[in-house]
Chains A and B, each alone.
Chain A
Amino acid sequence: MGLKVNNISKSFKKVNALEQVTFHIKPGELFGLIGPDGAGKTTLFRILTTLLIADKGSATVAGYDVLKDYKSIRNNVGYMPGKFSLYQDLTIEENLTFFATIFGTTIEENYNLIEDIYVQIEPFKNRRAGKLSGGMKQKLALCCALIHKPKVLFLDEPTTGVDPVSRKEFWDMLKRLQTKGITMLVSTPYMDEAALCDRIALIQEGKILEIDTPKSIVKHYPKPIYNVTANNTYKVITSLNMYPFNHSVYPFGEHVHYTDKRDSFNIKELHNYLEQNGLKNITIQKTKATIEDTFMELAR
């Protein structure tokens, strides 16, 4: 059970979409696939949902081989593609009934599974799916993907284009579903969502950079990070970029994360340098690495 991916490679013409991807997901785990657009997340999802065939490597989903037992996989997984893929001209209820029917079940049979989510959109059940807001569309899509009580749920960027409140609600729902024993693979470009997963894999340009729990993954960050602020953030960035000893400079909202090339880094020296560049109210503090920092560092 769970999910096993071994050395999966896939290329389209001359582009390598996936290279030697390997990871295992334990049954009941909420596993996150974190990476920017074009990292190969969707290709990996399509291989695991039997929509594409990998060039090399093997994978099993809920114990079924993606190539040989593709029919069994199609019976036992729920898939929510990145693009909203329901019938826009059908109402909420009709969409749900349709998906229940083609999976050979009824809404009533698995209602307990979708109840928490469905009650939120039920007041609009006679509204056509095309007229729903982004958050409601995602909730409906999740209901449709869950209606047949899948063993494994694939969610490809479920929160892209959804407002922050709905995003939070959506992740709360995933957490609740996890308690019902469903294994989940979720992809997202948002680093803050990564922290909500049991384990995450950082992926870029088709390669897995690191796999670990969100808490330990930041330990892979090799250098001390300093949080730099001043009266002019833009000027801070340009000045730090010109500083000969910088290792990395990344803006984080109002702050700038800075790492130094040298082992013996002196805060005072950097402070003076920034002052010379005409900056005021300078603060430089050591800070903890975030998942984003780790990703940026690993992706360098």
Chain B
Amino acid sequence: MKRFIGFVKKEFYHIFRDKRSLFILFGMPIAQILLFGFAITNEINNVDIAILDHSKDATTKEIINKISASHYFSINQIIEKESDIEPIFKKGKVKAVLSFEKDFSKKLITQNHSNIQVITDATDPNTANTISNYVNAILQIYLKEQNKNHTSAYQIIAQTRMVYNPELKSVYMFVPGVMTMILMLVSAMMTSISITREKELGTMEILLVSPIKPFQVVIGKVFPYIFLSIINAITIILLSLFIFKMPIQGSLFLLGLESVLFIITSLALGILISTISATQQTAMMISLMGLMLPVILLSGFIFPITSMPVPMQIISNIIPAKWFIIIIKGIMLKGVGLQFIWKETLILLIMTTFFIGLSIKKYKIRLE
């Protein structure tokens, strides 16, 4: 036990004396959460658009007024002919052009319908989609107001209610994802680097030729990072609570327990990586490429798993982050208890046991 304490003490010396890593360790979560929370958003606001009005009558004016009154769009310029559309897109001044056909009002009254063309710059497909949806919504509201007096025979009105995130705040989606990513990175990358550093500096040689047992070395390495990762998790939760006012519906205690489980999963992965890499550089590359990319791309953090091709969906199952994101989204946003997420928890537990078992098996008691 004394040996173990001595070892952990040494690990803390390493961590606290390496100011740069320490800064990354605690600066990264804060920077990431703020970045994802403020800068990266799917919502649109004051998007510049252009208007091409071929009829210039009362109805088109009214619609244009409605659109410019909403805070989603601001009218950047009015253009006069079709051939102007291409150049303004190329200049990148506007994201969309609304083109009203000739005799808009007249057609609306005589033929009962008229056309607006919504041309969007789809270099950014998400924004383009959102823009066309918003324009549609504004038009629908306008029509409803016009038809107030004379009701038509049949009408189907879809009343949408967004549960768990009624304001559709993207930060609610990012917090669980960022938390997963940070815990994974800190735990797996830092431990794998710190173990391979001993190999690279040759101190592993001395540790091996000493009475300290390999598992004591590994646990001693991992222990400080459990502690630091918990601090990181708490930081992220506090930031999302107080800066983004994200409610935590479920039990904080359960959230804590699940986080600790995921931290241990990541640490086990870190140990596994350290057993297969000889240098810190390799360990870092494997952690970044092998862990961070799947966490971002395949875990459902940013891209929904259900819209992936089937092979990708199957692959996503072996990524621990996927299950943890389901768990924390459940606890944080839906407020569910263990009875709804026991399956995911069990999967994480099995993965953890597997990783630990494998790394113990692969851990070398000699140099080769």
| Least CB distance, A144 to chain B, in whole angstroms | 8
CB of B3 within 8 A of CB of A101, answer yes
Whose C-beta in chain B lies nearest to the C-beta of A89? B17
Report A-chain residues with C-beta under 8 Å of the C-beta of B3: 101-102, 104
Using a CB-CB cutoff of 8 Å, which residues 1-45 of chain B contact chain A?
Answer: 2-3, 5-7, 9-10, 13-14, 17-18
CB of B211 within 8 A of CB of A102, answer yes
Report A-chain residues with C-beta under 8 Å of the C-beta of B18: 89
Q: Contacting A74 at CB < 8 Å: which of B10, B17, B209, B368?
A: B209
Whose C-beta in chain B lies nearest to the C-beta of A94? B13
Report A-chain residues with C-beta under 8 Å of the C-beta of B9: 98
Q: Is A77 on the interface with B (CB-CB < 8 A)?
A: yes
CB of A87 within 8 A of CB of B366, answer no
Report B-chain residues with C-beta under 8 Å of the C-beta of A99: 206, 210
The segment from B108-116, B183-191, B197-205, B296-304 that touches chain A is B197-205
| Least CB distance, A94 to chain B, in whole angstroms | 6
CB of B14 within 8 A of CB of A51, answer no
CB of B14 within 8 A of CB of A89, answer yes
CB of A50 within 8 A of CB of B209, answer yes
CB of B205 within 8 A of CB of A52, answer no
- The contact size tier of chain A is 20 to 34
Report B-chain residues with C-beta under 8 Å of the C-beta of A79: 205-206, 209
Q: Is B341 on the interface with A (CB-CB < 8 A)?
A: no
Interface flags for B42-84 (1: CB within 8 Å of A; 0: not) read 0000000000000000000000000000000000000000000
Q: Known contacts A52-B367, A74-B208, A74-B211; can you find 17 more A-B pairs with CB under 8 A?
A: A50-B209, A51-B208, A51-B209, A79-B205, A79-B206, A85-B202, A85-B206, A86-B203, A87-B13, A87-B203, A89-B13, A89-B14, A94-B10, A98-B10, A101-B2, A102-B207, A104-B3
A sample of 27 cross-chain residue pairs with beta-carbon separation below 8 angstroms, ordered by A number, consists of A51-B205, A51-B209, A51-B367, A52-B366, A53-B368, A70-B365, A74-B208, A74-B209, A79-B206, A79-B209, A81-B206, A85-B203, A87-B14, A88-B201, A89-B13, A89-B17, A89-B18, A94-B10, A94-B13, A98-B6, A98-B10, A99-B206, A101-B5, A101-B6, A104-B2, A104-B211, A144-B206
Interface, chain A (partner B; CB < 8 A): 46, 49-53, 70-71, 73-75, 77, 79, 81, 83-90, 94, 97-99, 101-104, 144
